[in-house]
Structure 1
Amino acid sequence: MKIWAVANQKGGVGKTTTSVALAGLLADVGKRVLIVDLDPHGSMTSYFGYNPDNLERTGFELFQHGGQVPDGLAAQLLQKTSHPRIALLPASTALATLERQTPGKSGLGLVISKTLAQLWNDFDHVLIDSPPLLGVLMVNALAACQQLVVPVQTEFLAVQGLERMVHTLTMINRSRRQALPYLIVPTLFDRRSQASLSTLKLLRDRHKEHIWPAYIPTDGRLRDASRAGLVPSQFDPGCRGVIAYRALLKSLLARQPGQPA
């Protein structure tokens, strides 16, 4: 099982679109994919037609057992999506209350790691959509993953959010045996915009070692796919956005030599 987290400490940078697009492309070539929504806003959950306000069973249940995950619970929480090879672990808006409910409690940072251990033989790839705030949910995503994808909108305020994310990674890596590899992905790029062009250059200058050399362009077909509840490659496999995400997936898989795609 390969586990990737998609995170940034700023919203609106394309985290959910990136998670769903990569999941769809993996599923299209026969991989069994699990997508995990850890964002209380539930954008990924809503993407596939579920309401994070009134779902009876969600990932929130995982955090109600003192840091342990009862046997079999993970599989009971999974939902179907529009793609037959993609399963969803949905979010609930109740996830936003975790920080208030669990002050001072230890052991909650590995809940998602323990959850995925129960599903290890059921999926080939996992993509975790992380919330844009540093807290127990993002810590879970970073602790569980083997590769971090950091989407960054090509505009100045998003660059500031990236600096906070890199600082967070520095802190997290102090507690890991091995540093977490991460790839910065420029998103929502508009070649007609001077702001996009200058921000892309700034990203490449500041983060040469960790930035993906290409970018994800703005593409209305990605929004249309979201409205239809379909992964982008189902909706329009030839659109600019999907072509870019296909190149990104190839790059991510190449970063893990010796492991089958």
Structure 2
Amino acid sequence: MGSVIGLANIKGGVGKTSLTNALAHEFANLGKKVLVIDVDPQASQTYLFGIDQDDVVDGEFEKHSIFNIYQNKECIPYKYNEKLDVVFSSRILQDGVESRIRPGIELVLNRWITKQKLRDKYDFIFIDPPSNKGILMISTILASDYILIPQRLTLLDETGTIELFLEMSNQAELRGKEMKVLGLVPMFFDKRSKLYREKLIKLRDEIKAFVSDDEFLSIEKEDVFLSPIRQLSVWTKAQEEQMPLRDYILNKDRTYMSVLEEIKKIVVEISELVI
């Protein structure tokens, strides 16, 4: 039985989409069967897989669009390679779903995953939602077995994370469903900075206190944080080439091997937590 992992945050610019993409490719490289579902109307994840969203709206990739499930149409995951499939997004999700709230729309994604028996077909399913508290983020929360949170250590990002935990708690209580948070991945982390380390400890303590008082939320990582990502400049370079991070590093610039090692550490941690 596979695991559905939603990568969530409320503040943009954290590296959520890049991290989702890197994890998917790394798990696939290890021989795991992986599906990535892009539910962000910005379609950044779709772009990272080399697809123009115009071709998803009305073109050869339309049958692989997540928007189809909201229109009671067939959605066929796109076969990127032998181990990695993708469901694409496009801007029409904004007007077609995010801006047109109707009863039960937040459950459509979860029902589709269940009806298609995707957990039986894939080892890992990663969902990449928009960075807000809209219906597509709520859909991701409700469809996921686990939530993974990329985390920057700024005041706005820390406040946004607490808001996210409140939203998860509200949804969990409303549905009577336990919400499992794998943990947080510190992004742009500077281990040399005393201030960063202090913020890490403060946020960890706040989250532990919040979860301990909530009967529906749990943190799978005992000390809250998974291994950090220390810098993201190479991610931008890989995106400009529309290359997977691991391929860019291995084939174009091995000076960034330490970044690939950071991703591998997180992959190991996730594998241990979902067993």
Query: Residue 215 of structure 1: CA displacement?
Result: 1.3
Q: How does 1:134-149 map to 2 (within 5 A)?
A: 134-149=133-148
Higher helix share: 2
Which residue is 1:60 aligned to? Answer: 67
TM-score by length of 1: 0.85
Query: Residue 165 of structure 1: CA displacement?
Result: 0.5
The SS at the match of 1:91 is coil
Q: How does 1:126-137 map to 2 (within 5 A)?
A: 126-137=125-136
Query: Residue 169 of structure 1: CA displacement?
Result: 0.9
Question: Structure 1: where are the runs of 5+ without partners?
Answer: none
The residue type equivalent to 1:206 in the other structure is E
1:215 aligns with 2:228: yes
Query: Which residue among 238, 244, 249 is the counterpart of 1:225?
Result: 238
Listed one character per residue, the Cα deviations across residues 101-160 of structure 1 (whole Å, up to 9, x for unaligned) are: 3x3x21212221232231524322110001112222112111111010011112222111
Structure 1 residue ranges (4+ consecutive) displaced by more than 6 angstroms after TM superposition? none
The question of whether the paired residues in 1 share the 8 Å contact of 2:145 and 2:180 is answered with yes
- The more displaced of 238-247 and 40-49 is 238-247
Question: Structure 2: where are the runs of 5+ without partners?
Answer: 212-218, 251-255
Q: How does 1:39-188 map to 2 (within 5 A)?
A: 39-55=40-56, 56=58, 57=62, 58-65=65-72, 70=73, 73-75=74-76, 78-81=77-80, 83-97=81-95, 98-101=97-100, 103=101, 105-117=102-114, 118-120=116-118, 121-182=120-181, 183-188=183-188
Query: Residue 86 of structure 1: CA displacement?
Result: 1.4
TM-score by length of 2: 0.81
Separation in 2 of the partners of 1:94 and 1:215? 34
Please tell me the root mean square deviation across aligned C-alpha atoms, in Å: 2.2
Compared CA separation, residues 80 and 213, structure 1 to 2 (3 A): closer
The SS at the match of 2:201 is helix
Compared CA separation, residues 195 and 39, structure 1 to 2 (3 A): farther
Listed one character per residue, the Cα deviations across residues 220-252 of structure 1 (whole Å, up to 9, x for unaligned) are: 222222222232223225622221221112222
Listed one character per residue, the Cα deviations across residues 55-101 of structure 1 (whole Å, up to 9, x for unaligned) are: 22121121123xxxx5xx122xx3343x5421111111111112333
Separation in 2 of the partners of 1:144 and 1:124? 16
The question of whether the paired residues in 1 share the 8 Å contact of 2:48 and 2:244 is answered with no
The residue type equivalent to 2:271 in the other structure is L
Which residue is 1:240 aligned to? Answer: 258
Q: Percent identity?
A: 24
Query: Residue 207 of structure 1: CA displacement?
Result: 2.7
RCO higher in structure (CA 8 A, sep ≥6): 1
The residue type equivalent to 1:217 in the other structure is R
